[in-house]
Structure 1
Amino acid sequence: MPFKNMSLKTLIYISSGIMAFFLVFMVGMYFYIFSLELEGQIQTSFESLADNIETRLIECVESINESAKQYAYSSDIQTITFFDNPEEYFIAASPAEDVLNFILDSNPNISAIYIYNNKNGRNFSSDSSKRRIFSKALEEHGLTGGKNIDAPFFSTSFYDDGLKITPYVVYFYPFYNVRDRKFERNESAICVILCDLNHLIQWLDIDKSSRSAMAVLYEDSIVSSNRNLSEIEINALRNITDSHGKVSVGNEKYLSNSITLPQFGWKLVYMIPEKDLLGGIIRVRNISYILISVVMVLLFAMMMQLFRFVTSPIQQIVNDVRRVRKGECSRIRPVNVLELQELSNGINLTLESIEQAHAKERETQRKLYNAVIEQKQALIYAYRSQINPHFLFNTLECMRSMARHYNAIPLEKVISSLSAMFRYSLRSNTVVTLSEEIEHLKNYLNFMKLRTGSSFEVRMFIPPETFSHPILPICLQPIVENSITHGFTDSNGNHLKIIQIQSWISDISGESMLHVRISDNGCGIPEKKLKELVANMESENNVEKKYSIGLYNIAKRLKLVFGEQSRLIINSRCGYYTSVELVFPKHPRDTSFMEYELL
């Protein structure tokens, strides 16, 4: 591990550095995302403003066309344009003047209106001072010689009043004689409307910012603007080509847009400073920068102070532990931090426990030394006692040879089984395999069948996969012996006496367990006696066990060798059956049990 040999102080400083890095990273990401969101908000605001300006320009064109239509087809204007009787003209002149004033008041973008009849040259003007502009516009478009037009249009050139202060654009609208509800196609006139571009620019400038710039651009020339523009601003407006874009004026960035309508031969360009669209958001952002920076500095200072507050007492504890290890002191000093006080007290209690454990260990070593001496003496006695079994095996072997010599085959088998049983009982390991224990059980059954005259039947169901499972030596034979000597004592002689032995392997809590069940159909055990039997096996003190010493021995050896996972389970019903089940784990609790033989 990379931090295995680092001190706590170094780890704390590394952790604080990583925390500071991630804090700065998160703050940076916050401001980055904030900037992206701000940029998106700027674009959204500008696009909304651009859409409003374009919508107002379209509305202006439509309102001019609607005003021209309303004016040209009013009954009084129809009369003074297409009258036959001069008296009709004088009657309609005053109402026509009222209609004209109403149109001019309702549409501020219209400066003047001029009516011109192509057939007879009659004309009517709202402002006589603008008559020169109207005549010039009609002449330039060839409309003074009785020429008619089929559709309204805007002039692609601009006109002024001679002072070159106010530029005008002219709108031509053809209309026809519809007096007496009759449409006369051959009687037509032109309604000429004069639009003030300066007023139009001011009307379209809905931003009203003192630094925004809007102008009408025609053949790379500024025709009209919303205010006086500097040379840099004029060049910037001329360079606007895209619908939406950005331009730089000095050190400041502007958002720009251009609008071109098919009715015009010119385009409307404008640019607005980004800061004007943001309003107070920039100020809020700058204040946020300052506040977050101050908070980060204060937080870092507090973290360093906290680290020093923690690392100083920890370093004191480390130094005291080193002094204890060198033997310079036996306890560590208390510290000022409450949680670390618990640590120092715990270390002192541990040191005290270690001292007590050392004293107990010395006493245990003394007792162990005495026990080893006694064990060696017992081992010498055990070696001496092996001489007697050796004499017994030689005697049995001699008897077996004599039985074979005299052709006493049953006696030879009994002596062979008895010799194998004695050898297994005296020389088997603490833990054997199931196959070894079954072989011993078969020798015992051979002996008992000769002794009892085959008065019972043994049925074995032992799967091959259970042969190698560890088991206690001489644990099945005592149970089978109980079945023969106690289970079949009161049975009817005509009843088939059966002892059934079966084994299987199960999985309990993820561990392989061997089950061996020995059942008989004998007289069973009374309920009261069964409870006493179970109580005797579970008893720790050596009480009277007259009828259960074999089962008690097996139960104690089970717990000693295989631990608490092993089981000895007795089930019985008086007059019907008795069943004893042994449960063995896959491994004994101490592998050393596999290495020693019984003495």
Structure 2
Amino acid sequence: MRQSIFKQFAVIMIIPVLFITFANFFILNQIQKNRIEDQETYCEATLNNIKISLSIQSENMSKGASIFANSQYAQMLLSSKSETEKNKAKKNLSDMISLSKIYNSNLVDILLCSSESTASLFGYISLNLEHYIKSYIQNNSGVNSVYTAYYDINSNNTYLIHFTPIFATKITANYRKQLGYVVMVSSFRTVSQLINSSKNIFIELVDINADKVLISNTSNFDLKLSGTDSSNQAVSKIPSTNLVLIGTPQTNLIDNKSTTFESFSIFTGIFYLVFLFYIFIAVDKTIIKPVNRLNKQIKSINFEDARIKHTARNEIGSIGAHINELLDKISSLNKKNIESQAKLYEMEISKKETQLYAYQSQINPHFLFNMLQCMRGISLIHGVKELANICTNMADLFRYSIKGDNYVTLKDELDIIDKYLYMISVRFQTKIHYQIFVDDSLQSCKIPKMILQPIIENSVFHGLEKIDGYGTINIKAVRFGDTLKLYILDNGIGIPYEKLADIKKSLEDNQINMKTNDVLNIGLTNINNKIKLYEGNEYGLEIESKDRNTTVIFTLKYQT
């Protein structure tokens, strides 16, 4: 007895410990994998944002340079010998300069350069930068539009420079002759802010022609390149330039967190083992040994002296006392009475549980109804009339659904449908329209409660919601002698032939095809079964769908 209980208890305790330990390591592996994937995705997204910013900046520089290159005043400034004409040209270029500043917030200066002179339109650049521009033009004369980068040691600033040749466009002796260059000088201020604000990613902006790092965020990292994995590097080239963005996720943070979690998992496993050993000893002393003694005494009972000697002052001792009481009464009780008492007791418990469930089922709907009324009041206070109307309609619909009546008038059912479709029209604005064609003489006839709303809901969310244009729902009622026909028509996406055949089979068999797990099929079959339960097997639902037109037909008794 003792060994059997001990082994069972050991298995019960060891299995959760092993499960928790393996689960911890599995979760650790998944967390690490997800973190690496998230880090790589974040790195690519960050590089893409920086790339977009640089592309916009370079494109604005190119457009601005093209405007200046085709300006007669820029050409006049480079070709004219007259200081008066040059001053006039500068004055007329002021509007273009202001516009360039608006479209390129990082613009530092615009220069008009020829072989003889250089005219700075702002005058904000350093002598080193001006010397570099002149030297570049001299060494690269005749080149087309080009981007280059320059690092100014004195100011510790990096600039993006765009050279565009200027040709004479006025028909003169100099027509189509190159007059010089328009040079757009822009800073990397915005890009630098984006790079330095990036966390857990080492980012470099590299000039591949000069093989030089222009901007990086190494100051944001304690270990700099340590803790990065070059195999996860992301590289993105900036179009039309010699610039490349290189991003490397900082994996040492992930490794540190994983190591911490792994250590915690090991510590937890050791703690569980120690705790398990303590539980084994405690359970053996307080439960297993007393139970074993009690078991031996029960086996040794004889009817001449049928008594249990119990010494434990706990539930096990109480068991021994109750056994003695049972032995005292066993001669005067009979099996039939014991079984009858047990059945009565079970029935009483079942009755209590049923009553409690009924009370709870009433409390929850009333609580939700009261909360909807509260929401309506708050909406009216704040002037949100549509929300107040929705709350009112929801409360009415909820109150209607929990009414005890199994049958309602067609008018009551249509009123609830009208409230429901109002909420749908608010949800979809002008996309969904509905019309109700029911003669007044049919308004008072009785139908099973809440059979229209689920079908309307299917039409909206399985048909009309998925179409591009406007959706319509039409509800009609027609009497044929002792039969009432209700029609719900919509112009949604329709139902495929195979699916329609499956639904029709479910309606004919009065059974839900659980293999399909189709909400539309289940809803229609449930309503069909409800109608047959209340009205009879000759009544129920039919469904037809052709192209984008679906019709659900209710066949009911005409009764008032």
Normalized against structure 2, the TM-score is what? 0.45
The higher relative CO (CA closer than 8 Å, separation ≥ 6) is in 2
Normalized against structure 1, the TM-score is what? 0.42
